[in-house]
């Protein structure tokens, strides 16, 4: 079935998609499609906050330097400058949209996270993403130019003469395949933590946008750089992130011998960059359970500063004011993705991307904490700016498709895929393990292709997308014969000079 054409199609209802849709609604009609309920997103889970230079004791140069240092030589400096210098105005924009950030004596409170040399994290207590999402969803639902389609799963980009002109979408409530046509398509589909057995990401994070863009011919970049968060708590309802700000406020990691250990791994101890802390926890876990202890702070402070984390852990039987929190590392953030320029353009005309599904160059080999919500706002605004050029263009003709729906399931394949990728393409990698993973992924792909003969559905497409992305990730990890940022090869533990030269030439 064909939907009536829209001027713009935005896929994804996290911070990037909502912000793009709100901006594009000033230029024309917008279809905002999202595969589950509107709130289901990584954005809604974000705790710590958004990095921005707002203090007189801080400077753009310092935020830029911190981002470049954590990015470990692979950031695009121009993109980083673009990100950092736009941050203060984007915080004001979010406030104007109705986001209530935490204040102290009428001034925005700034907290600190690992890798930042000063306090610059704007936050809404410990549930920043949920507050941003709440405010933006309210705006989007009240906007007459935005039509919202929940439970609509995007399958593929519609291309005509090499240009993006819409998407094929499954309406999963009514079990129907729809063609959405538009002048431009914006992918804001978020990350892909669900590839891994252990992840802080919600179920929606299956890398659909990256795989879709790849099938359409878009360039993906830096996929080997997956950030693993060092501190997640394995609860009854899956993994729950214990924000870096708990360490920022004095939380200490303790090993099986009941002693702190981070001084053995990095001079910044518990506030070392995430990849270093993750590998340290991964190594210490071999000796026994690792815990995060903040019991030396007052109970009032902990409950006031971390109300959401406190309440969630309490529900799991852990009182973090009195007991240390058992933790494990888990897949958290995709630094790489669809390659875009400073306008959010991909290499495919009329196809834009913003948010975690992209590689804008700001993260390089590792993301500085709290730069990703910021990146999503800055670059989705850039997309809107570029889309002003589309007002005079027309929507392309209705394409034909030969897709049918099936009810086949692939749960067994999915869980074994997630286990293999965690083990072989996870925190510590080797050539042998990566090769083994690639052999296995090929087998899974062949099985999926057999299932596809009967037709498609949401879960089969998600698995296909995850295997596509997992394969590209393992190939990228195999090619990079060095350890840099959050990519660690135990068979190549050093940084390679050749890469340093390559980076210098790129600059």
Q: Which residues are catalytic?
A: 274
The least CB distance from residue 41 to ligand FAD, in Å, is 3
Size of the site for ligand FAD (CB under 6 A): 43
Listed ranges 23-31, 40-48, 381-389, 416-424: which one lies at the site for ligand FAD (CB under 6 A): 40-48
Residue 82 sits in the site that holds ligand FAD (CB under 6 A): no
DSSP letter string, 370-436: T-HHHHHHHHHHHHHHHHGGGTT----PPPP----B-----HHHHHHHHHHHHHHSSSSB-HHHHHH
Residue 13 touches ligand FAD, criterion: CB under 6 A? yes
Among 31, 99, 204, 277, interactor with ligand FAD by CB under 6 A: 204
Does residue 46 belong to the site contacting ligand FAD (CB under 6 A)? yes
CA atoms within 13 A on the CB side of 218: 32
Q: Which of residues 150-169 bind ligand FAD (CB under 6 A)?
A: 153-154
Options 185-193, 295-303, 409-417, 498-506: segment touching ligand FAD (CB under 6 A): 185-193
Give the 3-state secondary structure of residue 330: strand
What does the alpha-carbon distance between residue 78 and residue 76 come to, in Å, rounded to a whole number? 6
Give CA–CA dist 63/66, Å, rounded: 5
Which of these, 115, 498, 43, lies nearest to 275 by C-alpha position? 115
Q: Which residues lie across from 204 on neighbouring strands?
A: none
Residue 372 binds ligand FAD, judged by CB under 6 A = yes
Binding test (CB under 6 A) with ligand FAD, winner from 165, 324, 355, 426: 355
Alpha-carbon torsion angle 343, 45, 155, 471, nearest 10:
90
Q: Does 43 bind ligand FAD (CB under 6 A)?
A: yes
CB of 209 to ligand FAD, least distance (A): 6
Pick the stretch among 14-22, 67-75, 138-146, 284-292 that binds ligand FAD (CB under 6 A). 14-22
Residue 114 in contact with ligand FAD, rule: CB under 6 A: no
CB of 380 to ligand FAD, least distance (A): 8
Region for 238 from its dihedrals, namely left if φ exceeds 0, alpha if ψ lies in -120 to 50, beta otherwise: left
In the block, residue with structure tokens 């902990």: 302
Residue 149 interacts with ligand FAD (CB under 6 A): yes or no: no
* Contact call for residues 418 and 331 (beta carbons, < 8 A): no
Cα gap 312→126, rounded to integer Å: 12
Among 49, 166, 255, 426, binds ligand FAD (CB under 6 A): 49
Q: 104 to each of 94, 110, 128, how far by Cα in Å?
A: 18, 9, 16
In whole angstroms, how close is the CB of 182 to ligand FAD at the nearest point? 14
The reply to whether 11 sits near ligand FAD by the rule CB under 6 A is yes
Taking CB under 6 A as the criterion, the residue among 22, 188, 325, 469 binding ligand FAD is 188
Residue numbers 451-470 binding ligand FAD by CB under 6 A = none
Site pattern 229..258 for ligand FAD (x: CB under 6 A)? ------------x-----------------
Which residue's Cβ lies closest to ligand FAD? 14
CB of 48 to ligand FAD, least distance (A): 3
Is residue 23 a contact point for ligand FAD (CB under 6 A)? no
Q: How many whole angstroms separate alpha carbon 212 and alpha carbon 233?
A: 32
At its nearest, how many Å lie between ligand FAD and the CB of residue 478? 26
Ramachandran area for residue 363 (φ above 0: left; ψ -120 to 50: alpha; else beta): alpha
Q: How far is the CB of 340 from ligand FAD (least distance, A)?
A: 12
For 489, the token pair is 């090869």
Q: Does residue 370 bind ligand FAD (CB under 6 A)?
A: yes
- Picking from 485, 368, 502, the residue whose alpha carbon sits closest to that of residue 429 is 485
Q: Does the footprint of ligand FAD cover residue 180 (CB under 6 A)?
A: no
Q: Which of 228, 277, 226, 227 is nearest to 248 (CA)?
A: 277
CA distance 239 to 301: 25
The angle formed by the CA atoms of residues 375, 379 and 384, to the nearest 5 degrees, is 150
* Residue 12 makes contact with ligand FAD by CB under 6 A: yes
- Which residues of this chain interact with ligand FAD, rule CB under 6 A? 11-17, 33-36, 40-43, 45-50, 128-129, 153-154, 188-190, 200-201, 204-205, 208-209, 241, 333, 355-356, 370-373, 376
């Amino acid at each position: 079935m064909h939907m009536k054409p829209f001027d713009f199609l935005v896929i994804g209802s996290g911070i990037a998609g909502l912000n793009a849709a709100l901006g594009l609604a000033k230029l024309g009609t917008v279809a905002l499609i999202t595969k589950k309920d509107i709130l289901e997103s990584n954005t809604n889970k974000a705790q710590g906050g958004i990095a921005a230079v707002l203090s007189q004791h801080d400077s753009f140069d310092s935020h830029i330097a911190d981002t470049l240092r954590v990015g470990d030589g692979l950031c695009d400096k121009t993109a980083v400058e673009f990100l950092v210098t736009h941050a203060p105005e984007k915080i004001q924009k979010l406030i104007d949209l109705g986001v209530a950030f935490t204040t102290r004596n009428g001034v925005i409170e700034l907290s600190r996270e690992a890798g930042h040399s000063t306090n610059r994290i704007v936050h809404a207590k410990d549930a920043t993403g949920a507050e941003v999402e709440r405010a933006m969803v309210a705006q989007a639902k009240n906007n007459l130019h935005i039509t919202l389609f929940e439970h609509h799963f995007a399958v593929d980009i519609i291309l005509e003469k090499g240009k993006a002109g819409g998407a094929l979408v499954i309406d999963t409530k009514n079990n129907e395949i729809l063609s959405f046509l538009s002048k431009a398509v914006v992918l804001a589909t978020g990350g892909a933590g669900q590839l891994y057995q252990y992840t802080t990401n919600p179920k929606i994070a299956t890398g659909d946008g990256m795989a879709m863009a790849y099938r359409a011919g878009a360039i993906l970049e830096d996929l080997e750089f997956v950030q693993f968060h060092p501190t997640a708590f394995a609860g009854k309802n899956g993994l729950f992130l214990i924000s870096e700000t708990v360490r920022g406020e004095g939380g200490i990691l303790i090993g099986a011998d009941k002693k702190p250990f981070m001084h053995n791994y990095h001079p910044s101890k518990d506030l070392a960059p995430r990849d270093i802390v993750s590998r340290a926890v991964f190594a210490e876990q071999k000796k026994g359970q690792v815990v995060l202890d903040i019991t030396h702070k007052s109970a009032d402070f902990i409950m006031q500063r971390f109300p959401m984390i406190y309440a969630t852990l309490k529900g799991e039987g852990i009182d973090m004011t009195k007991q240390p929190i058992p933790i494990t590392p888990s897949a958290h953030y995709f630094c790489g993705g669809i390659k875009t320029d400073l306008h959010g353009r991909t290499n495919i005309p009329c196809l834009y991307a913003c948010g975690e599904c992209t590689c804008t160059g700001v993260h390089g080999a590792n993301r500085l904490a709290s730069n990703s919500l910021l990146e999503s706002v800055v670059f989705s605004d850039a997309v809107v700016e570029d889309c002003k050029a589309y007002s005079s263009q027309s929507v392309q003709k209705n394409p034909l498709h030969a897709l049918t729906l099936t009810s086949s399931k692939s749960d067994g394949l999915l869980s074994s895929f997630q286990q293999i990728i965690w083990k072989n393409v996870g925190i510590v990698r080797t050539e042998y393990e990566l090769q083994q993973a690639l052999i296995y992924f090929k087998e899974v792909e062949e099985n999926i292709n057999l299932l596809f003969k009967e037709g498609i559905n949401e879960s089969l497409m998600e698995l296909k997308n995850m295997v596509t992305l997992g394969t590209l990730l393992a190939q990228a990890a195999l090619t990079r014969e060095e350890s840099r940022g959050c990519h660690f090869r135990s068979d190549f533990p050093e940084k390679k000079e050749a890469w340093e030269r390559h980076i210098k030439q790129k600059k």
